[in-house]
């Protein structure tokens, strides 16, 4: 039963894509040509059933490239796989950019928190500095008052000596 299905798949492939190994294939052995066609048919089957992932697309590209090297006419299949591969690359780039955007957002939020904390500390230091400046002003006033008292004391001393 599975042999019949495989033969039918290959016959459908030949009807759709033509005999891709007809003229230019380096190998004259029909068995080897059939093997190569089986590989190409398997790639087409996997594409049609959606049995693909990024690594399997690369594997398929390698198989189809090998088939092209022995002069099988698989250019349309190569182009299709190249397009899929480019789409996969774009999806990976989009995923990477999305991750980068999330990382930047997290870093930005943390940087904002850090800035707020530093500003809070600066404001606290400024407040402490303002209080220290007030105390310094008070100390200077006390010092001026003490000097005035010294001057008054000296004046009183002189007045006492004169009397």
Q: What pLDDT, on the 0 to 100 scale, is given for residue 43?
A: 83
Residue 18 scores a pLDDT above 80: no
pLDDT at position 107 is: 94
How confident is the model over 85-133, as pLDDT tens digits?
A: 787 778 788 888 999 999 999 999 999 999 999 999 999 999 999 999 9
Reading the block at residue 107, the tokens are: 């870093």
Distances (CA, A) of 17 to 20, 60, 72, 138, 146: 7, 17, 11, 99, 110
Considering 1-5, 20-24, 79-83, 102-106, the range whose residues carry the highest mean pLDDT is: 102-106
Helix 75-162 / helix 30-49 crossing angle, nearest 10 deg? 50
Q: Which pLDDT score, from 0 to 100, does residue 15 have? A: 47
Per the confidence metrics, is the pTM higher than 0.85?
Answer: no
């Amino acid at each position: 039963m599975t042999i019949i299905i495989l033969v039918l798949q290959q016959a459908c492939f030949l009807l759709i894509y033509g005999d891709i190994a007809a003229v230019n294939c380096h190998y004259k052995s029909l068995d080897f040509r059939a093997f190569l066609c089986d590989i190409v048919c398997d790639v087409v089957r996997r594409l049609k059933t959606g049995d693909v992932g990024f690594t399997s697309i690369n594997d398929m590209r390698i198989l189809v490239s090998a088939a092209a090297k022995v002069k099988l006419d698989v250019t349309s299949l190569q182009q299709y796989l190249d397009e899929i591969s480019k789409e996969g690359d774009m999806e990976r780039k989009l995923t990477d950019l999305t991750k980068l955007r999330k990382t930047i957002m997290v870093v930005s939020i943390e940087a904002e928190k850090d800035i707020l904390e530093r500003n809070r500390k600066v404001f606290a230091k400024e407040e402490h500095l303002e209080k220290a400046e007030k105390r310094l002003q008070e100390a200077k006033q006390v010092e001026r008052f003490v000097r005035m008292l010294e001057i008054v004391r000296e004046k009183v001393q002189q007045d006492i000596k004169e009397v």
